[in-house]
Amino acid sequence: MAASIVKRVSRVKKLNVSHISARYKLLTGSRHFSTSKQWNKALVLGVYENESTDSIDFTGTARKFDEKADGKISQLLLTVKKPLKCGKTRTLHAVDPEFSSVLVTCIGKRGEGYDELETVDKGRESIRAAVAKAVLQLRELGENEIEVDSCGDTEASAEGCHLALFSYDDLKAKKSRKPAVRISCATRYSQDKNSMEKEWRKGAILAEGQNLSRRLMEMPANLLTPTKFAEIVKEQLADKCEVLVRDKDWAESMKMGSFLSVARGSVEPPVFLEIEYKGRQSDSPLALVGKGVTFDTGGISIKPSQGMDAMRGDMGGAACVAGSLLSVSKLQLPVHVKAFIPLCENMPSGSATKPGDVVTAMNGKTIQVDNTDAEGRLILADALCYSEQFNPSLILDMATLTGAIDVALGAGAAGVFTNSDDMWNKLQKASVRSGDRVWRMPLFNHYTKKITECQLADLNNIGGSRSGGACTAAAFLKEFVNNKNWLHLDIAGVMSNSGDVAYLGKGMSGRPTRTVIEFINLMSKETNN
Ligand code: BES
Ligand code: ZN
Ligand code: ZN
């Protein structure tokens, strides 16, 4: 298999939108390094945590490398009395003629697996974090071709490397950007190279999907308008999916008054994306819906200016839908998926919706908009109604919907509201594998009452008090869904990473893209999707 590549392109002089677009294409397309490039090769090897001061507990691959190097690696490691602890590394030089650096990284205790309280596979998480740290340290040393130990879980190892090496520095001067690194799996001592390469590729594709989500979320809102988002998604997905770009007139003809009430404050035209991936024939696709507010000022109920820049990531749900579809289509999963993405800006202006205005959604329900900053639920209401027209076997929506979910769960997990125990069990199972966790939240009538008590209309877009804000938002969405398998993921708390996830750098996280891909993978094994 071709080695995985982190790409580099030369700086463009003027950062106007068309330049960015051309460059984006290069950055995300597959590109090969020139053969004249000077390679500095390095190797990452895994060891298990071990109390002994006179033996090293190597992974299978690492043991073979040590044997080949006449035990030099173990000798050097044992010259230091303190054994390596999980997450710690040692860098060795001049131990092998092929590699200028050999970095040994500790992947935790042998045999670690599912941890019930943590609801995560600790073994896989430790591998992701350990190889992530390793490749970043080697990049700092100027190494640009790195062979990585599968550490007993090739997919997790590939995910860790590819996620760690992501950086969004496209808009910086060349000298300030991270150097290119080529990574591959150390397969030379494997019994079954083919299956190892296959697993590595799967891990790389999972990471690639999440990295697309991160890139879209990180892009500044002046460059990533609704129109631009649609263009990039077309570039990225058009060869494997059908991408329909609907305009404002179309939304009007569909009577999407709720969606359009948010878009009307901005000069940027709204876009409604409809994407189809047909990895198998079926009349009941999986429906994905993503909140695509490319910038959320709050509208007339304007937000405080501090930290408002983060609201460029308010299209995180849309980005995760796009990232998931990229991976699902690259993995050629045998599944039928339809995605629905309402895109707009939430701006204050003379034409913006005002608190107290009443709008009508596609299903005929009227909504009193008491707070224009609760706009996500307004655009999702119409997208959810529309998605129901396609007889989906399930509807999964993702949205950076409420600050309240951040208060409740922080970056520990995405909040999940679902009417199906079965769907919940499957999503949680997927998250244990991905390490990107979910936590179930209630859909009680208690919360529905808060949004149906409304002076002028059928529904109010806010709950009247701040209490249970994520739950009243979910209860609002529930009014627009009839499907028996509905999942709403409030991802506002996991929108960005400030160091909590060791293998993701600081910035927009792209979470929970890999959980959703894994969930779709599980669903593809069921009949009739
Ligand atoms: N986009 C925000 C939610 C958000 C907050 C996303 C923090 C990411 C990080 C959403 O549109 C919003 O403003 N929600 C309001 C709802 C309130 C007015 C009922 C909120 O959470 O404060
Ligand atoms: Zn808002
Ligand atoms: Zn918002």
Same domain as 122, residue 221? no
185 and 221 part of one domain: no
Q: What is the DSSP letter of 12?
A: P
Instruction: Say if CB 287 and CB 395 are below 8 A apart.
Output: yes
In degrees to the nearest 10, what's the CA dihedral of 399, 402, 406, 411? 10
Query: What 3-state class would DSSP assign to 204?
Result: helix
The strand pair at 459-460 and 366-369 is best described as parallel
Answer yes or no: do 294 and 224 share one domain. Answer: yes
* Residue 527 pLDDT: 63
Q: Is 507 part of a structural domain of the chain?
A: yes
pLDDT digits (tens, 9 = 90+) for 70-103: 999 999 999 998 999 999 999 999 899 999 999 9
pLDDT tens per residue, range 198-254: 999 999 999 999 999 999 999 999 999 999 999 999 999 999 999 999 999 999 999
**Domain range for residue 126?**
41-191
For residue 305, what are the contacts with CB-CB under 8 A and spacing of at least 6?
none
Sorting pLDDT into bands at 50, 70 and 90, what band is 2? very low
Q: How far is the CA of 245 from the centre of ligand 1 (A)?
A: 27
> Is residue 387 located within the same domain as residue 438?
yes
CA dist., res. 289 & res. 215, Å (int): 19
In a domain, 7, yes or no: no
pLDDT above 60 (res 45)? yes
Q: Last residue of some domain: 191, 225, 255?
A: 191
CATH code, 344: 3.40.630.10
The pLDDT-based confidence of 28 (bands split at 50, 70, 90) is very low
Q: Which two tokens stand for residue 422?
A: 């079965």
CA-closest residue to ligand 1 atom 5: 403
Ligand number nearest CA of 297 is 2
Residue whose CA lies nearest to ligand 1 atom number 9: 492
Residue 335 in any domain: the answer is yes
Same domain, 353 and 502: yes
Do 164 and 229 reside in the same domain of the chain? Answer: no
Q: What is the pTM of this model?
A: 0.94
Strands of the 357-360 sheet, one edge to the other: 357-360, 366-369, 459-460
- 19 domain residue, yes or no: no
Dihedral (Cα; 298, 300, 306, 308), 10-degree rounding? 30
Pocket test for ligand 1, best of 309, 401, 409 (most atoms within 8 A of CB): 401
**Same domain (yes/no): 142, 281:** no
**How far apart (Å, rounded) are the C-alpha atoms in residues 164 and 141?**
16
**Are 345 and 418 members of one domain?**
yes
364 and 513 housed in the same domain: yes
Report if residue 31 sits inside a domain: no
Residue 382 lies in a domain: yes
List the structure tokens of 104: 């040994």
Q: Is residue 240 located within the same domain as residue 182? A: no
26 pLDDT more than 70? no
* Active site (catalytic) residues: 303, 377
* Mean pLDDT for all residues in the chain: 93
In a domain, 20, yes or no: no
Give the pLDDT of residue 35: 54
- Total structural domains within the chain: 2
Ligand 1 lining (C-beta closer than 6 Å): 296, 314, 371, 373-376, 400-404, 406, 462, 469, 492, 495
Ligand 3: distance of its center to the CA of 528 in Å?
Answer: 34
Domain end position, chosen among 142, 176, 191? 191
Residue carrying structure tokens 């960005």: 496
Q: Kindly report the length of the chain.
A: 529
Q: Are residues 347 and 471 in the same domain?
A: yes
DSSP for residue 529:
-
Q: Are residues 149 and 265 in the same domain?
A: no
Atom of ligand 1 nearest to the CA of 301: 18
- Does residue 374 lie within any of the structural domains? yes
pLDDT band for position 379 (cuts 50, 70, 90): very high
